[in-house]
Structure 1
Amino acid sequence: MTPTLDSSEALKFPILIGDIGGTNARFAILLDAFAEPKSFPIVQTADYPNIDEAIQATVLDKTSVQPKSAVLAVAGPIDGDEIDLTNCPWVVRPRVLIRDLGFEEVLVLNDFEAQALAVSALPETGRSQVGRGTVKEGASRVVVGPGTGLGVAGLVRARKMWIPVAGEGGHIDLGPRTERDRALWPHLEAIEGRISAEQILCGRGLVNLYRAICAADGTAPTHTTPAEVTEAAVNNRDAASGEAVQLFAVYLGRVAGDLALVFMARGGVYIAGGIFQRIIPILKAAEMRAAFEDKAPHTALMQDIPLFVITQPLAALAGLATFARTPRFYGLETANRRWTR
């Protein structure tokens, strides 16, 4: 590993870029600084024992191009030569990737750093605004994404560079505000007595919320997966599913507003992830926006901060490609995260 390199040092093309979450992994190859990424079919992480075999089978065996570099965004903390994913049994071993798959260097980022990189260059067509607010160019931004877990990252501007700030913001506390909340909270599954944002605002969290609604109302739950709850809500099959989806959006609005205050995100808060995309057709946007703004004594401040849903497909890969083309524009810390042959 080479701890002294910084993000301004150019990567060698061709570059494999990868966005690896708890459930899905997405890969593409960037031939040069001017090419569009060549994407490969989305991989289910459960279908492969490790990332090495996934890259070999779904990328390297399907192209004659041998990537010299790999830039991988992973859902988990990066600490040492063996990187465990938080919600997936894969372990990323950059030295093994270099030895066995022919890379000359491997750079590993947090998956929501990649989302933050995407937000730095997201076109107008790649986002949909929820309510009012105006983007202040050059101001801080936040991306939050419910998926297998709840990812959070900030993006700040300094010295003419965008600097992504990764963390574990999805594990902040989330508490009840309304009488309905207080009726539901005792029925939510906790972790060591704690309800974090991720306990509600992710796939399994949506099911957790649905079950709590059923328990509070004295009805038997019939759905066991996020897809079942979402499908029932979208098709108006039962009241509990519909309420679960609406409250999911309200609670996400509250957390997004908290994050906006933490980062003073006058550049906007951006919602990523497939779960939210599926419920957009039925969510009550005004209620979500009200929850986002309800931050007394700073309600007036919040009214001017925009809230967006990222609609651009494969946004994280686009963010990685943007960084790989022009690393000098990003203040990305690569110490202990960049391995070379």
Structure 2
Amino acid sequence: MPYTTDPETVLNFPILVGDIGGTNARFAILVDSYAEPRLYPVLRTADYASIDEAIQTQILDRTSIQPRSAVLAVAGPVDGDEIDLTNCDWVVRPRGMIAALGFSDVVVLNDFEAQALAVVALDAAHLERIAGPAGEVSGSRVVLGPGTGLGVAGLVRARHMWIPVPGEGGHVDIGPRTAREIAVFGHAETIEGRMSAEQMLSGHGLVNLYRAVAAADGAEPLLAGPAAITGAALSGDDATAKATLDLFVTLLGRVAGDLALIFMSRGGVYLTGGIAQKILPALKNGLFRAAFEDKAPHSALMRTIPAYVITDPLAALAGLAAYARTPARFGVETRGRRWRSV
């Protein structure tokens, strides 16, 4: 494992690491490079006016440790000194955090960049293989997760480092392939006439899909919320919910397969987030894998690529902690994404 004393690379301990999603925020403090992360309770972003308030009241006011550095992963593109989160009202202002919270160094990454880092930080106990053979040890990987939105990131190996590739892949186009899907898609809610993957493959996307399936079948949509839909589908209590979840995992497999081809991810495709963890039985029923491999003329290639579910709900924190401990192990580009006190 490479170590470095390059001041342009290393971060000073203690280090606050934070995973800021659209709904929840998770934090931990690394006291030094050998200590296990000191975890704090999960926070609901809607309960705090700003990220600064959440960190001050729920982290800094509850410990005698003063972090010198912060590494934060946020749900949205990192561009400029004011970073808007895609599905949350918080705005991350690193210069303001340095002034108000006492940090000397702040690094802000994309949330799925942190999930990509986690893929090589987690042990086998937190990875459930749902299909395919074991992946190549140094093979490229893809991480995607339906949640508040649909996060996507790649991870490639080059120059003896793992290099995360963040992006907004959840907003690619998605469309129907069968007569049944054409009927369902015709009832689904779009964004300015466009159907993105996130419109189907996320928490609100699952509700969108459920209502569309009900409309296509002339049924009454009686369930509200993704948890109710997945619960009724897995228990078999609601035929519309079951049909919805079947279509959901099929579409997820199709998009996951597309991303595997784009990244040539011989190291595997990794599904993360609460939805994937809760619908694990449905992901193993064959529909996901059939759609994943249905990529003629490359179906044989697809059969060699494994798919996993990340079962650790704190995976992003594990990825951030791995990077914070040994930045030289990862090719993380920090230009325009790292702020320091003067």
Q: Shorter-chain TM-score: what band?
A: over 0.9
Structure 1: distance between partners of 2:328 and 2:322: 11
Q: Offset of 1:244 from its aligned partner?
A: 1.1
Between 1:128-137 and 1:250-259, the stretch displaced more is: 128-137
Write the letter of the residue equivalent to 2:29.
I
Match of 1:22 in 2: 22
Check if 1:68 corresponds to 2:68: yes
Change (3 A) 1:241 1:29: same
Residues 261-295 of structure 1: CA deviation (Å, up to 9, x unaligned): 00000000000010111111344531111111110
Structure-2-length-normalised TM-score? 0.96
Residues 101-144 of structure 1: CA deviation (Å, up to 9, x unaligned): 11011000000000000012221111111122231111110000
Structure 1: distance between partners of 2:333 and 2:298: 33
Match of 1:194 in 2: 194
Match of 2:164 in 1: 164
Match of 1:204 in 2: 204
Match of 1:101 in 2: 101
Check if 1:131 corresponds to 2:131: yes
Check if 1:275 corresponds to 2:275: yes
Counterpart contact for 1:131–1:285, Cα < 8 Å: no
Counterpart contact for 2:233–2:245, Cα < 8 Å: yes
The unaligned stretches of length 5 or more in structure 2 are 1-5
Write the letter of the residue equivalent to 2:276.
F
Change (3 A) 1:7 1:169: farther
Q: Offset of 1:313 from its aligned partner?
A: 3.1
Structure 1: distance between partners of 2:55 and 2:176: 43
Write the letter of the residue equivalent to 2:149.
G
Q: Which has the higher contact order (CA 8 A, sep 6+)?
A: 1
Structure 1: distance between partners of 2:43 and 2:122: 24
Residues 19-73 of structure 1: CA deviation (Å, up to 9, x unaligned): 0000000000000000110110000001001100111111111111000000000
Structure 1: distance between partners of 2:62 and 2:243: 45
Structure 2: distance between partners of 1:210 and 1:291: 19
Write the letter of the residue equivalent to 1:226.
P
Residues 76-124 of structure 1: CA deviation (Å, up to 9, x unaligned): 1111110000000000000111000110110000000000000122211
Q: Number of residue pairs matched?
A: 336
Q: Secondary structure at the match of 2:128?
A: strand
Match of 2:55 in 1: 55
Q: Secondary structure at the match of 2:275?
A: helix
Match of 1:224 in 2: 224
Match of 2:33 in 1: 33
Write the letter of the residue equivalent to 2:247.
L
Name segments (4+ residues, structure 1) moved above 6 Å: none
Match of 1:3 in 2: none
Q: Secondary structure at the match of 2:108?
A: strand
Percent sequence identity over matched residues?
Answer: 64
Match of 2:333 in 1: 333
Write the letter of the residue equivalent to 2:197.
A
Counterpart contact for 1:120–1:155, Cα < 8 Å: no
Q: Offset of 1:180 from its aligned partner?
A: 1.3
Structure-1-length-normalised TM-score? 0.96
Structure 1: distance between partners of 2:205 and 2:215: 15
Match of 1:149 in 2: 149
Structure 1: distance between partners of 2:132 and 2:339: 44
Change (3 A) 1:283 1:144: closer
Q: Offset of 1:256 from its aligned partner?
A: 0.5
Structure 1: distance between partners of 2:246 and 2:236: 12
Counterpart contact for 2:274–2:313, Cα < 8 Å: no
Q: Offset of 1:164 from its aligned partner?
A: 0.3
Change (3 A) 1:53 1:309: same
Counterpart contact for 1:128–1:310, Cα < 8 Å: yes
Q: Offset of 1:225 from its aligned partner?
A: 1.2
Counterpart contact for 2:131–2:284, Cα < 8 Å: no
Match of 2:3 in 1: none
Counterpart contact for 2:106–2:340, Cα < 8 Å: yes
Change (3 A) 1:171 1:52: same
Residues 219-255 of structure 1: CA deviation (Å, up to 9, x unaligned): 1211221122122223322111111112111111110
The unaligned stretches of length 5 or more in structure 1 are 1-5
Counterpart contact for 1:104–1:340, Cα < 8 Å: yes
Counterpart contact for 1:8–1:329, Cα < 8 Å: no
Counterpart contact for 2:130–2:284, Cα < 8 Å: no
Counterpart contact for 1:7–1:331, Cα < 8 Å: no
Residues 172-212 of structure 1: CA deviation (Å, up to 9, x unaligned): 11111122111101001011111111000000000000000
Structure 2: distance between partners of 1:44 and 1:149: 16
